């Protein structure tokens, strides 16, 4: 397809849906068929090997070489049955996405022949020689080795002919080079700290797990249109494009009926996801045209993160069967809603209690309030770090835009829970409470569940909202790997729970009764974190002012935000809990700066190229048509030509002016890049990109979008927003 205009969208809209039928009507027949899950482990492993893996999963105990061999044999037997001939260690490098290097099961048998085999060593550890992944200097050129090591807590799976083994990716000296390692460490920390707190309420709790249910938003764009927009295919977002006369004003897409081709894509996607044990439960249209959402049933956090990363890969693959491209970018189109990945998060015990869900009696509700208050306090305490965990070059376009929360962290609790916290604040005192006061408070606390049931108020503008039995971290970006925000959140909550139990224990030691000690510390934390609680509209200008008055931070510059990782507070949080060491933090920060620089650099190059090679020549061509027309009018009508040429003379001038502006600014942008590139220190270079290069993107775009409105539609070289958004 050459230039795609609205009139030629017919070809796109006539594409036939491709239906892929699952092998059975009953999902249970194929759910998890390609996952080496508990059921398969029981079947393919010896009792002893099975017990070892289970212990490794639940207790984090190491698996020795002999057991690893036994597991490898069982895993290989199963994988071969599923058609696997190769295996790979599957990991999540800091570049984003996933990485894999496939090896055949093939080995020499020592007698001149070959056998298929898979050893415990190959299962447990590999050296993928992945030396070109960013490491922030943790691997210098002499010691460029990185290792992948099996993560038994996330089950292996088969895709195509390959057995994929989820792994962590670490340097020769054991430092984290990936997203998963710090997450696993943070999950351990929160398990330890939360279990201690649970002991105040229930001695039977021996384990606490973090849960995650992600909601993935995305756009689907027809492949032909995608390829016709180099900015979209190279940077993931449109760098230019005037708003369509109609986009989402009517809200007619949200929860609307799903177009047939999209629905065929979603069906195949679900089928593929189910085979991989990913329990996709929800699918619906989102607010923007061509925008959709899927969400699974929540699960343990590490597994959920892996499943999200995996499903994103599956989505990219399956979308192509349907001539679609899937966009995860947080803001592919200016002026309309972007895509987030809401992270629904909670803690739960091995006794089956969701700690962020109200209980049935005053005691379990006090536990519930304890976890709510400590979560809020953790968000308050580490608001800057939480922001840093989600503020990426791409997500920055979404945050603070009209439909997304600003870069200010705040918590929404809802009327009833807020009221409870206010009550504790008012009723509890530092002196001993009278029995009556205690009874009253406990009675009130006992009432929470009934009230919550019919308390369906929701605040969809909040970046961190309580939604009945969990918190929803909505600020996470659509293209993000949730491991990082989840590592930071769990680390922050772990540290807070530790400081909470320390304070409670101190009071108990001073002779204060347990209940009362808990109440007193809760009260202190409620007071200390009050400013982070906000029930109003986070999108409003009023909130920006109010938040400032409250002293909440609002960092929108990305390099500034990345810098938060190196603050004393952040270091204390990570280092003291063994989540990241000082040099791991430094390395990660370096990678984040470099990533940011690269993103802006690529966008600047693509925009410069499109502006100079596509837009300017087109505008000049159209200007020539106008000039010719005016010249001919003059020839025919002499001095009367001016009144007969309408606004064409003015248009000719406007085109000249805009073209000049564009050319000048593209040159300036190139110069700004050259200056920035000479700066040695990544942090300073990133700052130069943010302050001196990035602003040109919008300024240049402004003139291009104005030209789009003037130039003949037939000549315009790129599909416009209305074409991109209204085809499927
Ligand atoms: P909504 O759009 O109303 O927020 P969705 O149904 O789209 O809700 O997604 C909610 C997500 O939250 C799902 O993945 C769901 O499984 C998950 N979820 C539900 N309860 C919990 C919980 N206690 N902890 C973590 N995630 C949860
Ligand atoms: Mg939600």
Are residue 620 and residue 546 in the same domain, yes or no? no
Mark which of 579, 613, 635 sits at the end of a domain.
Answer: 579
Type and span of the H or E element at 473? strand 471-473
Q: Give the residue from 515, 547, 579 where a domain finishes.
A: 579
**What pLDDT was estimated at residue 74?**
96
Residue with the smallest CA separation from ligand 1 atom 13 is 213
251 pLDDT higher than 70: no
DSSP character string of 641-655: HHHHTTTHHHHHHHH
Q: Looking at the predicted structure, is the pLDDT value of residue 162 above 90?
A: yes
Q: What is the pLDDT of residue 53?
A: 92
For residue 557, tell me if it sits in a domain.
Answer: yes
Which of 679, 535, 28, 15 lies closest to 324, judged by CA?
15
Neighbouring-strand partners of residue 114:
108
Among the bound ligands, the one closest to the CA of 341: 2
pLDDT at 451 over 70: no
Residues bordering ligand 2, an ion, CB closer than 5 Å: 342
261 domain residue, yes or no: yes
Confidence (pLDDT) at 255: 60
pLDDT given for residue 222 in this prediction = 92
The CA dihedral of 306, 472, 466, 464, to the nearest 10 degrees, is 130
Asked if residue 164 and residue 194 are part of one domain, the reply reads: no
* The two structure tokens encoding residue 200: 């105040």
- Give the number of domains in the chain: 3
Same domain, 459 and 565: yes
* Residue 197, pLDDT above cutoff 80: yes
pLDDT at residue 142 is higher than 50: no
601 and 568 inside one domain: no
Query: Would you say 616 and 657 are in contact if contact means Cβ atoms under 8 Å apart?
Result: no
Residue 476 CA to ligand 1 centre (angstroms):
15
**What's 630's domain CATH number?**
1.20.120.1560
| pLDDT over 90 percentage in the chain | 70
Domain for residue 416, yes or no? yes
> Which residues have CB under 8 Å from 56's CB, separation 6+?
62, 63, 152, 153
Instruction: Check residue 452 and give its pLDDT.
Output: 63
Q: Is the domain of 297 the same as that of 418? A: yes
Tell me the pTM.
0.95
* Closest CA relative to residue 450, chosen from 355, 359, 363: 359
Distance, CA of 54 to CA of 628 (rounded, Å):
80
Q: How far is the CA of 473 from the centre of ligand 2 (A)?
A: 9
Write the DSSP assignment of 428-462 as a string of letters.
--SSPPPHHHHHHHHHHHHTHHHHHHT-----TT-
Overall residue count recorded for the chain in this entry: 728
528 and 638 part of one domain: no
Query: How would you classify residue 537: left for phi > 0, otherwise alpha for psi between -120 and 50, otherwise beta?
Result: beta
Ligand 1 atom 22: the closest Cα is on which residue? 470
Q: For residues 573 and 498, is the Cβ–Cβ distance under 8 A?
A: no
167-193 pLDDT, tens per residue? 999 887 888 999 999 999 999 999 999
pLDDT at residue 60, rounded to an integer: 78
> What's the pLDDT band for 719 if we cut at 50, 70, 90?
very high
- The reply to whether 65 and 154 lie within a common domain is yes
User: Residue 585: inside a domain, yes or no?
Assistant: no
Q: Could you tell which of 278, 279, 298, 490 is best to mutate to test the pocket of ligand 1, judged by most ligand atoms within 8 Å of the CB?
A: 298
Contact present, 370 and 518 (Cβ < 8 Å): yes
Give residue 131's pLDDT band: very low, low, confident or very high (50, 70, 90): low
pLDDT at residue 332 greater than cutoff 70: yes
- In a domain, residue 2? The reply is no
pLDDT at 132 over 70: no
**Hey, which of 213, 254, 300, 456 would you mutate to test ligand 1's pocket, going by the most ligand atoms within 8 Å of its Cβ?**
213
15 inside domain: no
Taking all residues of the chain, what is their mean pLDDT, rounded to a whole number?
91
Q: For residue 698, what are the domain limits?
A: 593-724
Q: Tens digit of pLDDT for each residue in 289-300?
A: 899 999 999 999
- One domain, residues 194 and 309: yes
Q: Any residues with Cβ below 6 Å from ligand 1, and which?
A: 211, 213, 215, 282, 295-298, 344-346, 354, 469-470
- The yes-or-no verdict on residue 112 having pLDDT over 90 is no
DSSP element (H, E) containing 545: helix 541-550
- Residue 49's domain is classified under what CATH number? 3.10.20.70
Q: Please identify, by atom number, the ligand 1 atom nearest to the C-alpha of residue 297.
A: 16
Same domain, 490 and 598: no
Q: How big is the CA angle at 110 (ends 106 and 113), to the nearest 5 degrees?
A: 55
Please tell me the distance between residue 141's alpha carbon and the centre of ligand 1 in angstroms: 45
pLDDT above 50 for 1: no
Q: What is the pLDDT of residues 414-443, one digit of tens each?
A: 988 998 899 899 887 766 777 777 777 777
Closest CA to 83 of 158, 153, 18: 158
Atom of ligand 1 nearest to the CA of 356: 23
Reported confidence tier of residue 165, pLDDT bands at 50, 70, 90: very high
- pLDDT greater at residue 365 or residue 495: 495
Q: Atom 2 in ligand 1: which residue has the minimum CA distance?
A: 215
Residue 116 — pLDDT band, cuts 50, 70, 90? confident
Instruction: Give the model's pLDDT for residue 457.
Output: 58
- Each residue's pLDDT tens digit, 59-85: 778 888 889 999 999 999 999 999 999
Are 516 and 613 members of one domain? no
CATH for 209: 3.30.590.10
Residue with tokens 């249910």: 213
Ligand 1 atom closest to the Cα of residue 284 is 7
Query: How far is ligand 1, taken at its centre, from the CA of residue 213, in Å?
Result: 5
Is 11 within a domain? no
Ligand nearest to C-alpha 471: 1
* 604-648 pLDDT tens trace: 999 999 999 999 999 999 999 999 999 999 999 988 888 888 889
What spacing in Å lies between the alpha carbon of 460 and ligand 2's midpoint? 8
For residue 211, the ligand 1 atom closest to its alpha carbon is 25
**Eight-state DSSP code of residue 491:** H
Q: Which of 90-99, 240-249, 465-474 has the highest mean pLDDT?
A: 465-474
Task: Give the CA distances from residue 550 to residues 187, 533, 545, 547, 607, in Å, rounded to whole numbers and listed in that order.
Answer: 31, 10, 9, 5, 40
Residue 15: what pLDDT? Answer: 83
Token pair in block for residue 299: 């699960």
Q: Between these two residues, 474 and 444, which has the higher pLDDT value? A: 474
**pLDDT (tens digit per residue) in 517-556:** 999 999 999 999 999 999 999 988 899 999 999 999 999 9
Q: What are phi and psi of 138, to 5 degrees?
A: -70, -25
- The residues, ordered by sequence, that sit 6+ positions from 159 with a Cβ below 8 Å of its Cβ are 34, 276
DSSP 46-97: -HHHHHHHHHHHHH-----HHHHHHHHHHHHHHHHHTT--EEEEEB-BTTSS
446: pLDDT strictly greater than 90: no
Res 403: pLDDT: 67
Domain boundary among 160, 178, 196: 178
Instruction: Please report the pLDDT score of residue 7 as a whole number.
Output: 65
Query: What does the pLDDT read at residue 445?
Result: 72
509 plus 562 within the same structural domain: yes
Q: What is the pLDDT of residue 333?
A: 95
> Does 587 map to a domain?
no
Q: How far is the CA of 474 from the centre of ligand 1 (A)?
A: 12
Same domain, 314 and 369: yes
pLDDT of 233 higher than 50: yes
* Cβ-based neighbour number of residue 18 at 10 Å: 13
Share of the chain above pLDDT 70, in %: 93
């Amino acid at each position: 397809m050459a230039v795609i205009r609205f009139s030629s969208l017919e070809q796109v809209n006539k594409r036939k849906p491709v239906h892929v039928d699952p092998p059975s009507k009953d999902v249970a027949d194929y759910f998890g068929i390609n996952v080496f899950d508990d059921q398969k482990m029981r079947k393919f492993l010896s009792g002893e090997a099975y017990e070892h893996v289970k212990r490794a999963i639940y207790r984090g105990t190491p698996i020795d070489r002999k057991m690893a061999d036994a597991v490898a044999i069982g895993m290989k037997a199963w994988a071969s049955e599923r058609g696997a001939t190769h295996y790979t260690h599957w990991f999540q490098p800091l570049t984003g996405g996933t990485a894999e290097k496939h090896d055949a099961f093939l080995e020499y048998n020592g007698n001149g022949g070959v056998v298929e085999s898979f050893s415990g060593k190959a299962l447990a550890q590999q050296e993928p020689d992945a030396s070109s992944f960013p490491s922030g200097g943790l691997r210098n050129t002499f010691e460029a080795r990185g290792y992948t090591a099996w993560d038994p807590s996330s089950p292996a799976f088969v895709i195509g002919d390959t057995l994929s083994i989820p792994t962590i990716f670490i340097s020769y000296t054991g430092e984290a080079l990936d997203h998963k390692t710090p997450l696993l460490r943070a999950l351990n920390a929160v398990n330890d700290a939360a279990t201690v707190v649970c002991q105040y309420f229930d001695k039977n709790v021996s384990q606490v797990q973090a849960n995650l249910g992600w909601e993935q938003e995305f756009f689907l764009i027809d492949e032909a249109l995608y390829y016709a927009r180099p900015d979209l295919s190279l940077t993931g977002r449109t760098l230019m494009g005037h708003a369509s006369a109609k986009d989402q004003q009517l809200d007619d897409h949200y929860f609307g009926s799903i177009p047939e081709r999209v629905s065929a894509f979603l069906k195949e996607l679900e089928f593929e996801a189910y085979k991989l044990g990913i329990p996709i439960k929800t699918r619906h249209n989102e607010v923007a045209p061509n925008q959709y959402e899927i969400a699974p049933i929540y699960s343990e956090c590490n597994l959920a993160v892996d499943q999200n990363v995996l499903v994103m890969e599956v989505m990219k693959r399956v979308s192509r069967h349907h001539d679609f491209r899937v966009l995860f970018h947080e803001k592919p189109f200016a002026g309309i809603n972007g895509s987030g990945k809401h992270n629904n998060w909670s803690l739960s015990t091995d006794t089956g209690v969701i700690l962020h869900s109200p209980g049935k009696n005053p005691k379990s509700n006090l536990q519930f309030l304890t976890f709510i208050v400590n979560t809020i306090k953790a968000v308050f305490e580490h608001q800057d770090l939480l922001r840093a965990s989600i503020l990426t070059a791409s997500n920055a376009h979404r945050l603070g835009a009209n439909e997304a929360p600003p870069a200010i962290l705040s918590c929404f609790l809802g009327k009833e829970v807020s009221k409870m916290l206010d009550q504790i604040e008012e009723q509890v005192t530092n002196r001993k409470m009278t029995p009556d006061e205690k009874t009253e408070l406990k009675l009130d606390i006992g009432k929470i569940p009934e009230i919550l049931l019919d308390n369906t108020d929701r605040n969809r503008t909040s970046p961190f909202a309580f939604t009945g039995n969990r918190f929803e971290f909505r600020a996470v970006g659509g293209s993000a790997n949730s491991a990082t925000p989840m590592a930071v959140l769990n680390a922050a909550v772990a540290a807070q729970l530790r400081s909470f139990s320390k304070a409670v224990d101190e009071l108990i030691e001073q002779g204060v009764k347990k209940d009362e000690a808990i109440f007193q510390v809760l009260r202190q934390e409620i007071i200390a974190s009050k400013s982070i609680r906000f029930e109003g509209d986070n999108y409003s200008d009023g909130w920006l002012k109010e938040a400032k008055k409250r002293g909440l931070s609002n960092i929108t510059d990305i390099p500034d935000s990345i810098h938060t990782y190196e603050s004393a507070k952040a270091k204390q949080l990570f280092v003291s809990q063994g989540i990241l060491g000082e040099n791991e933090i430094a390395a990660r920060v370096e990678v984040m700066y470099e990533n940011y620089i690269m993103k802006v650099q690529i966008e600047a190059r693509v925009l410069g190229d499109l502006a100079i090679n596509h837009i300017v020549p087109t505008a000049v061509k159209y200007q020539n048509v106008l000039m010719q027309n005016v010249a001919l009018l003059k020839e025919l009508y002499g001095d009367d030509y001016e009144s007969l040429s309408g606004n064409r003379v003015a248009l000719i001038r406007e085109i000249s002016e805009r073209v000049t502006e564009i050319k000048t600014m593209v040159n300036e942008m190139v110069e700004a890049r050259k200056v920035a590139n000479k700066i040695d220190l990544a942090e300073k270079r990133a700052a130069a990109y943010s302050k001196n290069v990035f602003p040109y993107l919008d300024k240049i775009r402004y003139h291009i979008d104005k030209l789009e409105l003037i130039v003949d539609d037939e000549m315009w070289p790129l599909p416009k927003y209305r074409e991109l958004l209204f085809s499927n």
